[in-house]
Amino acid sequence: MTAELFTLFLASTVRLAVPLLFAATGELVSERAGVVNMSVEGMMLTGAFGGAMGAAYTGSPMLGLCCAILAVLPIAVLQSVMTNTLRANQIVTGIGINIMALGVTTLGYRALFGARSRDIIPGFDAWSPPLLGQIPLVGGVFQQVWLFYLAAAIIAVVGYVLERTGLGIVLRAAGDNPQSVIRSGAPLKGVRHAAVIFTGVMSALGGAFLSIGDIHTFTEGMTNGAGYLAIVAVIFGSWRLWRTVAACLLFGAATALQFQLPAFGIHIPNALLIMMPYLLALLAVAGVVGHQTAPRALTQN
């Protein structure tokens, strides 16, 4: 492997991992609070759609990003009210939202954008930080859209809040032992609502990265399972932040390999590489790879 190809591989690994990093971190917070958001897929798709439409109509990717978040908020509130207030089944609600989001974004895209569907949408450009970018071999890796640095910053903050603050304790208790939260007088529902809405915002950012950060266009159903992959990353990461981040990077690498391996004349079927994250996660939850500790009250209302 030449140095150049290696750098390219690392850079595309990071780039492909960014949407997962956003969505999986959001999902992790919510699952630690006891709510599985199966709707991450739909939220990401809506984020990608909102971002693309916003950027296309205002001409500003920054406003597009705001639109992405605004578009996802109602969905996150819907998911949260349904599962936390109406006590609907979390899995079912998520799948319902995903089906609907696919329908609404497809309809909306055709109605709003049908005639202009080949246009490139204004988006963010990759940017190289002054010093990091100069490092030989790995410098090219930092040539990323600024959203990547935002993701890194949010992950650091989430890690700190989860492990070092009172809010983190309450949040983790909401997922492990909700009765204790109620007894302590902390607002269990409030914590869970906030966690689901946080997932929504993070999914919106991840989805917007896909449309206006990475390829500068929107296509129907473009998340294509990325949301589910984010959930898989949380499972494979055993509901821990750093492992989840590592899982996202691993999944990014597996995706990057699909495009890189043929360049080296190695022919592993694409399908096997794409399957790898799911297979690894299955082995993980089967207890083959280390011990898994899911929040005890996960999916229970």
Partner 1 sequence: MSASTTANASSFSPRSALLPVLLPAAAVLAALVVGMIVVVAMGVTLDKAVMAFYRGAFGNAYAISASLNRAVALALVGVGFVIANRAGLTNVGGEGQIAIGGIVATAFCLMPGMADLPLGLSYLLPLLAASLAGGLWGGIAGMLRVRAGTNEVIATLLLSFIAVWLLYWCVQSENLLRQPMTSAATLPESLAIPEATQVPLLTGSYSSPVTLGLPILLGIAIIAAILLRRSLYGFALSAVGLNPIAAARAGVAVGFTIISAMCLAGALGGLAGGLMLQGEQYSLKAGFSSGYGFDGLVVGLLARGSVTGVIAGALLFGFLRSGGISMEMAAGVPSALIDVLQGLIVLTIASAAYYLERRIAR
Largest CA distance in the chain: 62
Minimum separation from the CB atom of position 277 to partner 1 (A): 8
Give the range of 5-13, 130-138, 257-265, 273-281 binding partner 1 by CB under 8 A. 273-281
Q: Which of 63, 73, 88, 126 binds partner 1 (CB under 8 A)?
A: 88
Non-local (6+) Cβ contacts of 193 within 8 A are 80, 81, 84
Q: Cα(179)–Cα(185) distance, rounded to whole angstroms?
A: 10
Burial class (CB in 10 A: 0-12, 13-18, 19+), 19: buried
19 contacts 52 by C-beta, under 8 angstroms: no
- Per CB under 8 A, which of residues 201..260 are in contact with partner 1? 220, 225, 228, 231-232, 235
Q: Does 185 bind partner 1 (CB under 8 A)?
A: no
Site string for partner 1, 117-156 (x = CB under 8 A): ----------------------------------------
Q: Does 289 bind partner 1 (CB under 8 A)?
A: no
Q: Which of 12, 25, 93, 203 binds partner 1 (CB under 8 A)?
A: 93
Both tokens of 9, joined, read: 């591989």
Minimum separation from the CB atom of position 7 to partner 1 (A): 29
Of 115 and 131, the one with the shorter C-beta distance to partner 1 is 115
Of 124 and 236, the one with the shorter C-beta distance to partner 1 is 236
Give the range of 94-102, 177-185, 191-199, 253-261 binding partner 1 by CB under 8 A. 94-102
Candidates 160, 272, 210; CA nearest to 40 is: 210
Q: Does 74 bind partner 1 (CB under 8 A)?
A: no
Write out 239-267 in H/E/C secondary structure. CCHHHHHHHHHHHHHHHHHHHHHHHHCCC
Give the range of 65-73, 160-168, 171-179, 280-288 binding partner 1 by CB under 8 A. 280-288
Report helix angle 3-32 to 241-260, nearest 10.
140
Non-local (6+) Cβ contacts of 220 within 8 A are 102, 105, 106, 109
- DSSP strand E in the chain: where? none
Minimum separation from the CB atom of position 196 to partner 1 (A): 15
Applying CB under 8 A, which residues contact partner 1? Answer: 36, 78, 82, 86-89, 91-93, 95-104, 106-107, 110-111, 220, 225, 228, 231-232, 235, 269-272, 274-275, 278-279, 281-282, 285-287, 292, 294, 298-299, 301
